[in-house]
Chain A
Amino acid sequence: MTIEILFPEHANLFGDMSNMRYLQACLPDAEFVRTPLTEVPYFVNHDVDLLYMGPMTERIQQQVILALMPYADRLQAMIDGGTPMLFTGNAMEVLGHNIQLENGNSIHGLGILPLNAKQDMLHRYNGLVLGRFAPVQSDIVGFKTQFTSATGDNADCAFIKTERGIGLNKQSHYEGFFKGNMIATYLIGPLLILNPALTRWLLDTMGASDVPLAFEEAVNDAYARRLAEFCDPQVDVEY
């Protein structure tokens, strides 16, 4: 089993690399390929069982788009072919149509997702999200911390429909994208650790249905407590 982590030296903000450390704990025999920004991604010439990219700085985001642009068709084909993928935080924007920068200029994304993002470096959004991930009929809990918001038609292909918290923007109830087996989401942090049902689905999709979740009792306990908090109307979802 091969898992490629794109540009881990840069795309590692907000504790997101913990998702890979957790998968490593679940899949101790899996091969993790860590591709630096200066090299051709492994997925270009090989099949992978999971492709992952985490959040990055706004400066690096532009470099990542340039680095991946030659392989946009390959990425699209992999999504169409059902390769599991996970893009978190502003890594999702890399797949979109464009990003409007703070200075008014726009940069093109890979054009794979119908997503237009807009930076607002003076206002940082921080919040919680509770929503439903249809394939497992399970509640997803997660965190957002971002300078951007986005518009895009994701009503029929959202990662989750939010019950609390925001989607692509403050008016949206649809968070992220779910196409084939690709998940792209603004949620950051230890998403797989926070959501054991999502991780179970991912492992099953990757062909590792016989593998137990690492620290299953502990992650389920933490999930149950967090879910109860997120469902509590007294708990603020923005801060």
Chain B
Amino acid sequence: MKRSWRFFPALWAAKLTTVILKLFRRNATHLPGLVALKLCPTFLGCVEKPKTIIAVTGTNGKTTVCNLLDDILPDCGIVPLNNRTGSNVDGGIITTFLHACNLRGRVKAEMAVIEVDERSAMFVFKYMEPDYLVVTNLFRDSFKRNAHSEFITDILNRAIPQKTKLIVNADDLISSHLAPANPRVTFGIAHREDDWEVPQNIVCDMVACPHCNTALQYDFVRYNHIGRAHCPSCGYGSLPVNYEITAVDTDAQTLTLRTKDGEERYRMLGENITDWYNTLAAVTMLRELGIDANAIELSLQKREIVRSRFEKITVGDKAITMQLAKGQNPIACSRAFDFIRRCEGNKAVILLIEDFFDAKHTSENIAWLYDADFEFLCGEQIPQIIIAGVRAADFRVRLLLAGVPDERILCMREEAATADAVDFERVDNVFVLFDVYTVPFARTVQERLLARLNGTQEEVTV
């Protein structure tokens, strides 16, 4: 794109904004980009970019996939420009390029890994054409922002540049068929024993063929619409898989992949199947860049799931598991609930997933609770479900409709009090589910639980 005369004044003003913000010890991860955008609406198109741009989008897992790429690439000799510390919408992405370029608008990095919010794709891809676009999956997300998956699909179909090569999840019929004219590479996980024959979740957005409305036939379904399916009438269905996990060894903690170059083995990061999908998406992207499988594996050996997303602490024979669940995202919550029900032992679940910001100024739209599979929390192995916050009464009703007996539900007004309500004589593992914005509450609860287990806090009768 030809540089506008506004570009350099915008660049310098935004750089100055960064300096001022840093003088006041403020994060300069978004505002400088907004300043640049205000002064030069085509700034993102004008700024010099690295030779190779990888964009990552999708409903769930895009941050994790970006983090993996950002961590592994330097071990392979490539230091990518990334928006890890900033936001994944226009202001944050512009700020990323702004920080990377000098006062003459030159960028040194040879590669960029940019996380892109699905809704921002229309703006971002107009000015930044990615060479590769990794799409982790597409599901229903926040009703108020994302409406429904067809709305997001439509945005992406209109936004994805023709030259972009897609790295897509073959087990997701929605995202794998994006931009049908574009070249693509697919990843997936082969049929597993614990897969289902028909959808089990409340939400399944691929029940009927989008071309002829005939009921789809699932070869297997893993969760929601994730699985492999075909239309018996018109031939529509799941795409062939280029990079496929064919075996998971939970003892050895390895994932075995079938690739065009033969069988490859990688370290398993995390116990949840969504962790495996995220690892697979990153590995597929790296392999498509031509990075050696051994180099990827060596780097994976050093990686951990980010502590802010999943953390398990064991004290004696008890455990406390902190798990990000993302409020208003019914699929993310359902994955967390499914993970809990599959874990052995008696469990208490603490829910800190109401919307922190809505609670400050409005009344949260709780319709999403009814798209999330609270039914997974019905089992007798979950004798306590403890809820805190202003929406506790709504969670109680939702749990009752799910079939959870009332005597297993405890409602608290204050988040911190949930830790005192856990009955450690009846449970082995406490799962604390929290939202991105309720991390401080979750940490307080975690500390109180640990204090109780370590005997450094007096027992409180609730």
Give me the interface of A with B, judged by CB distance under 8 Å: 9-10, 12-18, 21-22, 25, 36-38, 57-59, 63, 121, 124, 126, 128, 143, 145, 147, 188-190, 193, 214-215, 218-219, 221-222, 225-226, 229-230, 234-237, 239
Residues of B within 8 A of A145 (CB): 143-144, 147, 365, 367
Known: A17-B202, A235-B361, A239-B361. A9 touches B208 (CB 8 A): yes
Residues of B within 8 A of A215 (CB): 397, 400-401
Q: Whole-angstrom distance from the CB of A66 to the nearest CB of chain B?
A: 11
Give me the interface of B with A, judged by CB distance under 8 Å: 140, 143-145, 147-148, 150-151, 202-203, 207-208, 213-215, 330, 358, 361-363, 365-371, 390, 393-394, 396-397, 400-401, 406
Chain B CB within 10 Å — which of A38, A193, A237 has the most? Answer: A193
CA distance A142 to B213 in the complex (A): 32
**Beta-carbon contact of A57 and B150 below 8 Å:** yes
| Chain A minimum-CB-distance residue to B411 | A221
Chain A CB within 10 Å — which of B144, B365, B366 has the most? Answer: B365
CA distance A239 to B328 in the complex (A): 14
Q: Whole-angstrom distance from the CB of A182 to the nearest CB of chain B?
A: 22
CA distance A13 to B143 in the complex (A): 9
**Beta-carbon contact of B367 and A218 below 8 Å:** no
Partner of B213 from the list A37, A143, A229, A236 (CB cut-off 8 Å) is A37
Q: Whole-angstrom distance from the CB of B75 to the nearest CB of chain A?
A: 42
Residues of A within 8 A of B396 (CB): 218, 221-222
CA distance A226 to B151 in the complex (A): 30
**Beta-carbon contact of B397 and A218 below 8 Å:** yes
What 4 A-B pairs come out closest when comparing CB atoms? A189-B367, A15-B370, A18-B370, A15-B367
**Beta-carbon contact of A57 and B148 below 8 Å:** yes
Q: Whole-angstrom distance from the CB of A116 to the nearest CB of chain B?
A: 21
CA distance A128 to B214 in the complex (A): 37
Residues of A within 8 A of B330 (CB): 15
Q: Whole-angstrom distance from the CB of B117 to the nearest CB of chain A?
A: 15
**Beta-carbon contact of A15 and B362 below 8 Å:** no
**Beta-carbon contact of A222 and B367 below 8 Å:** no
CA distance A219 to B208 in the complex (A): 34
**Beta-carbon contact of A189 and B358 below 8 Å:** no
A-B contact pairs, 25 of them (CB 8 A): A9-B208, A9-B215, A13-B148, A15-B368, A15-B369, A18-B370, A21-B370, A36-B208, A38-B214, A121-B151, A126-B365, A128-B365, A143-B365, A143-B367, A145-B144, A145-B367, A190-B369, A193-B401, A215-B397, A215-B400, A218-B400, A222-B396, A226-B394, A235-B362, A239-B361
Partner of B367 from the list A10, A190, A214, A235 (CB cut-off 8 Å) is A190
Known: A38-B214, A215-B397, A239-B358. A229 touches B367 (CB 8 A): no
Q: Whole-angstrom distance from the CB of B327 to the nearest CB of chain A?
A: 14
Q: Whole-angstrom distance from the CB of B365 to the nearest CB of chain A?
A: 4
Q: Give me 19 other A-B pairs in contact (C-beta within 8 A), A13-B140, A124-B144 excluded.
A: A13-B148, A15-B368, A15-B370, A16-B370, A17-B202, A22-B401, A38-B208, A58-B150, A59-B150, A128-B362, A128-B365, A145-B144, A215-B400, A218-B396, A218-B400, A225-B393, A236-B361, A236-B362, A239-B144
Q: Whole-angstrom distance from the CB of A93 to the nearest CB of chain B?
A: 15
**Beta-carbon contact of B367 and A38 below 8 Å:** no
Partner of B363 from the list A25, A124, A190, A235 (CB cut-off 8 Å) is A235
CA distance A59 to B401 in the complex (A): 31
Residues of B within 8 A of A58 (CB): 150-151
CA distance A235 to B151 in the complex (A): 29
